[in-house]
Amino acid sequence: MKTKSLKLVGSADSLLYVTFPNLNNKKCITAFTTRMGGVSRGKYASMNMSFSNGDSSKSVRKNYDILFSALGLDPERAVLSQQTHTDNIRIVGEKDIGKGIVIHRDYKNVDGLITNLKGVPLVTQFADCVPLLFYDPENEVIAASHAGWRGTVQEIGRKTVEKMAEVFGSNPKKIMVAIGPSIGQCCYEVDAPVFENFSLLSYIKPESIFECKANGKYMLDLWTANRLILEHAGIKPKNICVTDLCTCCNSQFFHSHRASGGNRGNLAAIIALK
């Protein structure tokens, strides 16, 4: 597995994860997991980051301990989303610390998280959908959003930027964004209703994100779709790091819903302020 835009940390023989060079610095840390380095077994092997897909909770907690130890983060301060392909975004405060791992989540249908709290990792989960990580270095604000095709067409990327600006005064021109490993256009076949939904976004030309197939279906480029949505929200193109790793093509390294037919664990995208 090779990448030109991201950074691989570790090895396929042990813990292996991805970081985003445009976001990682002395004040911000990011990671996107692979399947490598955990203790889960069977279809979850070995680094599964979901407590809700049937895996042993002890194994998942151990996976968090392994990963967060490598990152220098405290898993008991992490906050997990509760994703249902919405455009709902939650501002994470002091009372939310630990929710999803050591404290019961008292929220549902949350696909985006934002905070300015230091040492509080935000965690969203994936198995082909697009992870979006945001960092405002000026105001020291971070965000993590989950963008499947539904979240993407609902412009969760734009709405995350707008919420950062509304609540914390973030300037879109100063926000750095990473579009993480996810299913690429090479593997993502969709039908006419998906095409029609994206056609409602007037500022995106269908031909820029869709490739028509002879069977009446389309190959969708979620990476470009999210990039265009972010640029429309005011993010500078130079501040967006776009993945070149397809989770489906690289299913030996990543959990992929399409490649596995749904029999899989979950990956996680993590961002935290130091």
Q: Where are the domains of the chain?
A: 7-184+239-273
CA triplet 82, 83, 88: central angle to 5 degrees? 95
Using one digit for the tens of pLDDT, what is the confidence trace for 195-230? Answer: 999 999 999 999 999 999 999 999 999 999 999 999
DSSP assignments along 150-209, one per residue: HHHHTTHHHHHHHHHHHHH---GGG-EEEE-SB--TTT-EE-HHHHHHHHT-TTS-HHHH
Say if CB 80 and CB 266 are below 8 A apart. no
Q: For the chain, what's the residue count?
A: 274
- Do the bridges between strand 122-126 and strand 79-80 make them parallel or antiparallel, or are there none, so unpaired? parallel
pLDDT bin (cut points 50, 70, 90) of residue 90 is very high
Q: What is the DSSP letter of 251?
A: T
Using one digit for the tens of pLDDT, what is the confidence trace for 6-49? Answer: 999 998 889 999 999 999 999 999 999 999 999 999 999 999 99
Tell me the C-alpha distance between 21 and 182, whole Å.
17
Tell me the C-alpha distance between 84 and 70, whole Å.
29
Tokens standing for 274? Answer: 């130091």
| This model's pTM is above 0.95 | yes
Query: What is the per-residue pLDDT for 236?
Result: 98
Quickly name the fold that domain 7-184+239-273 has. Answer: CNF1/YfiH-like putative cysteine hydrolases (3.60.140)
Using one digit for the tens of pLDDT, what is the confidence trace for 247-271? Answer: 999 999 999 999 999 999 999 999 9
How far the first Cα of the chain sits from its last, in Å, is 29
